[in-house]
Amino acid sequence: MIRNKFNILTAICLMAVMYIVISLSGCVTSRHIDELKAEIRDLKEQNNTTSQTIAEMERVVTENSETVNRLRNDVTQSNDQLHERIDMLLENYNELMRIILEMKNNLATRRIITSSPGSQSESAITSGLTGSDNQAVVSQPAEECIDAYDAAFILARRENYNEAIEAFNKYLTNCLQHESAENAHYWIGECYYSLEKYVDASEKFNYLINNYKSSVNLSRAMYKLARCNQELGKTDAAKSMFNRLINEFPETLEANQAKERLKDL
């Protein structure tokens, strides 16, 4: 477009020169002058039209660039929101499966207690052996431990996190050897995480990882520990835990989530 404009201006200049030459040569007629003037007017009109076209194209290009930038920002934002939504859905699905498993285990425990009366003292179901004389340590009856755990779990599900932490800690004090103790440690970490107390949450997830190496919550605790490190700005620690999770539990939902998180680190 710029080159066309330049060519038009050049033509106008050439015609002006020709007009001057003809005038100086003495051979000019009024017809020649009128023709030259008409051609100059046509060239000027073409030049104006070209200038308007160029201005319109520049305006369209500018508007399209702004539109493209807006679309790019919208797509990027939508993509980020989609990833967050996928993470949330995966977490909710995984959590639901664990809840179902816990309920199944609790129901199985209740059936054992009620179907075998007298086979084992209730006060000794959750007992362990301590000391050199192997004397049994008696803790709270198993059925009461189940009720205590369920009550704490309900508080957590209702998002009463502080009350849930207190209830789980009380449960652990009285039912340390109970089969749901590892779950209690995990849910305390989850409650701290929901409260954005990432240091406290990290301590709980670390405790679970180091002391319950066969826990069904292990992969999830690793993921949440990595997320805590990420929130605390400990990028290297977060990367390390995400990679460990992927290597040790490659088929889990948490491993897939970890892969997505690593893309942002």
Of 108, 109, 138, 134, the residue nearest 126 (C-alpha): 138
156 in Cβ contact with 190 (< 8 Å): yes
CATH assignment of 78-113+138-262?
Answer: 1.25.40.10
pLDDT by position in tens, the chain (length 265): 555 555 555 655 556 555 555 555 555 566 666 666 677 777 777 777 877 888 778 777 777 777 777 766 666 666 666 666 666 665 665 566 666 666 655 555 554 444 333 333 333 333 343 333 333 333 566 788 888 999 999 999 999 999 999 999 999 998 888 888 899 999 999 999 999 999 999 999 999 999 998 889 999 999 999 999 999 999 999 999 999 999 999 989 999 999 999 988 8
What's the CA gap between 126 and 92, in Å, rounded? Answer: 31
What pLDDT does 51 receive? 77
Hey, where are the domains in the chain?
2-61, 78-113+138-262
Residues facing residue 137 across a β-bridge: 128
Where does 116-217 have alpha helices with state H?
A: 142-157, 161-174, 181-194, 198-211
Taking phi first (over 0 means left), then psi (-120 to 50 degrees means alpha), and beta for anything else, what does residue 234 get? beta
Amino acid identity for residue 237 in this structure: A
Amino acid identity for residue 152 in this structure: A
What's the CA gap between 97 and 94, in Å, rounded? Answer: 5
The overall pTM is greater than 0.75: no
**Using a CB cutoff of 8 Å and minimum separation of 24, what contacts does 218-221 make?**
218/249, 219/245, 219/248, 219/249, 219/252, 219/254, 219/255, 220/94, 220/98, 220/186, 220/254, 221/186, 221/189
